[in-house]
C-alpha cells in the first residue's frame, strides 16, 4: 500500500473528520497535488539544520521541568511531558518566549485537546453538521477552536507587519517567507491550518511516546545502565550538546524499540479511488483500508520474540520503510518524523543525565484510547531522584 499510486489510495479523504480541528488545507486532509503542494512547503523546517536550530528550546524546557519534580515521590510523567512538548512546539512553531505568552497559548490548546482526547469526542465531531456548527460559539468544541483561531490569526498578522529580518526564529516566520511553486505566498488560512496541524500532531503524540519509552526503559537496569554509560562516555554524564546527540546510538535504538513495542497510532488509513490489489485480493473503489501498525510490529519474521524489549534490534539491522512504521509510510509518511525522533532523543538524554528514574513496584501501564492515540492509563508513574553530583 505504501508503494501504491497516490491517486488510487487517498489518505486525506479518509481523514476528513479532522477538518473540524486542522482545517481544510492541512496536509492531513488533502490528497494528490494539493497534498504534495502543502507538504513541499512544510517539510524543510522540520528536518536537517533548520530542525536542529531548536535543540536549545527542547533541552532547556526539559531541564526546567525536571527541577520541579519532587525527589523520591511518585509522579505521572505523561503530564509533565505534555507540558514539555507543548512549550517546545509553541516556541518552535510560533516563536513564543515569554512565560505569559506561552501560558496563554498553552491554555487555549489544552482546552481544545481536552475535548478531543475523550473516548467519543472525535466520533461526535464526525457526526455533527460541520458546515452549520463550525462558526457557532455555543458548542464548546467550536467555541474553544474559535478562541484559539483568534489568537493564531492575530499572531500571524503581527508577524506579517514585521520586517522579515526582525521576525523571531520560528516555523511561522518560515511559512510567511515561503511561497508555492507558482510564486504565490501562503494565505492566512493555509498558515493557520499548518500551525494547528503542527502544534496538535507534534505535541500530544510525542508526549505519549516519551511516557511509553520511560515505561519500557526505566524498569530495566541493563538498558538504563547502557544509556547512562553511553552518556558518560559522550558527555561525562552531563546533558549532551546538539553535536553530541549522534554519539548516543543505543538511546536512539531504545527509542525506536519503544515505538515498535508500544503502539501509539494503531493504524493508518487509505481510501481506494480505483480497484486496488493487496495481499492477493482486489478491493473495489470506496473501501477504507487500514494497515495495522500494531500487528506489523509484532511479526515474528521481522521481530523475533516480538513481545520483548530489545533495543539491540535497531543496532544490528536497518529496518525498511515498510517494516517499521510508527509514523506511517509512503507519500503520507509523517512530516514530523525526524523532528519527533530528535525531540525524544534530546528530552530523554537530558532527563537521564539529570535524574535517576525508578518504577514503583508492581506498577503496570495499560493502553487506553486517548482520542486517536493509545496512551498509558496511569500516565506512567515514576520516582525521580537527582543524581548525587547534581544539585
Q: Pairing mode, if any, of strands 276-278 and 281-283?
A: antiparallel
Q: Pairing mode, if any, of strands 74-76 and 367-370?
A: unpaired
Structure confidence at residue 123 (pLDDT): 52
Encode pLDDT of 188-218 as tens digits.
999 999 999 999 888 889 999 999 999 999 9
Longest dimension (CA), the chain: 64
Residue 281: alpha-carbon gap to chain centroid: 34
Q: Residue 97: pLDDT above 60?
A: yes
Encode pLDDT of 317-345 as tens digits.
999 999 999 999 998 999 999 999 999 99
Q: Residue 257: pLDDT above 90?
A: yes
Mean confidence (pLDDT) of the chain: 89
Cβ count near 255 (within 10 Å): 24
Residue 132 buriedness (CB in 10 A; 0-12 / 13-18 / 19+): exposed
Active site residues: 205, 327, 334
pTM of the model: 0.92
Encode pLDDT of 102-147 as tens digits.
999 999 999 888 876 655 555 545 555 555 445 555 467 778 888 9
Fold of 9-381: Cytochrome p450 (1.10.630)
58 Cβ contact partners less than 8 Å away, ≥ 6 residues apart: 88, 342, 343, 346, 347
Q: Where are the domains of the chain?
A: 9-381
Structure confidence at residue 131 (pLDDT): 52
Q: Residue 389: pLDDT above 80?
A: no
7 Cβ contact partners less than 8 Å away, ≥ 6 residues apart: 32, 273, 274
Amino acid at each position: 500500500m505504501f508503494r501504491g499510486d497516490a491517486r488510487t489510495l487517498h489518505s486525506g479523504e479518509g481523514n476528513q473528520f479532522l477538518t473540524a480541528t486542522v482545517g481544510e488545507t492541512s496536509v492531513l486532509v488533502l490528497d494528490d497535488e494539493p497534498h504534495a503542494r502543502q507538504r513541499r512547503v512544510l517539510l524543510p523546517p522540520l528536518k536537517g539544520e533548520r530542525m536542529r536550530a531548536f535543540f536549545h528550546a527542547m533541552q532547556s524546557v526539559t531541564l526546567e521541568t525536571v527541577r520541579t519534580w519532587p525527589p523520591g515521590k511518585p509522579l505521572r510523567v505523561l503530564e509533565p511531558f505534555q507540558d514539555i512538548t507543548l512549550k517546545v512546539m509553541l516556541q518552535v512553531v510560533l516563536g513564543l518566549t515569554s512565560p505569559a505568552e506561552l501560558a496563554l497559548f498553552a491554555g487555549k490548546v489544552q482546552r481544545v485537546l481536552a475535548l478531543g482526547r475523550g473516548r467519543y469526542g472525535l466520533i461526535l465531531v464526525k457526526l455533527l453538521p460541520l458546515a452549520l456548527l463550525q462558526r457557532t460559539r455555543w458548542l464548546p468544541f467550536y467555541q474553544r477552536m474559535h478562541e484559539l483561531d483568534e489568537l493564531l490569526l492575530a499572531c500571524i498578522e503581527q508577524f506579517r507587519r514585521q520586517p522579515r529580518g526582525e521576525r523571531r526564529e520560528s516555523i511561522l516566520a518560515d511559512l510567511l517567507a515561503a511561497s508555492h511553486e507558482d510564486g504565490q505566498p501562503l494565505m492566512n488560512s493555509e498558515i493557520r491550518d499548518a500551525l494547528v496541524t503542527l502544534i496538535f500532531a507534534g505535541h500530544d503524540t510525542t508526549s505519549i511516546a516519551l511516557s511509553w519509552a520511560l515505561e519500557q526503559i526505566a524498569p530495566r537496569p541493563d538498558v538504563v545502565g547502557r544509556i547512562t554509560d553511553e552518556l558518560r562516555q559522550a558527555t561525562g554524564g552531563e546533558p549532551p550538546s546538539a553535536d553530541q546527540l549522534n554519539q548516543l546510538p543505543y538511546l536512539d535504538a531504545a527509542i525506536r524499540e519503544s515505538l515498535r513495542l508500544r503502539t501509539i497510532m494503531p493504524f493508518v488509513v487509505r481510501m481506494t479511488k480505483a480497484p486496488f490489489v493487496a495481499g492477493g485480493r482486489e478491493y473495489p473503489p470506496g473501501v477504507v483500508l487500514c494497515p495495522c501498525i500494531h500487528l506489523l510490529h509484532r511479526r515474528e519474521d521481522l521481530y523475533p520474540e516480538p513481545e520483548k524489549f530489545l533495543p539491540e534490534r535497531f543496532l544490528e539491522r536497518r529496518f525498511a520503510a515498510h517494516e517499521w512504521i510508527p509514523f506511517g509510510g509512503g507519500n503520507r509518511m509523517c512530516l514530523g518524523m525526524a523532528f519527533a525522533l530528535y525531540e525524544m532523543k534530546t528530552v530523554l538524554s537530558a532527563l537521564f543525565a539529570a535524574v535517576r528514574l525508578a518504577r514503583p513496584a508492581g506498577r503496570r501501564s495499560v493502553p487506553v484510547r486517548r482520542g486517536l492515540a493509545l496512551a498509558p492509563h496511569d500516565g506512567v508513574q515514576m520516582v525521580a531522584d537527582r543524581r548525587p553530583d547534581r544539585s
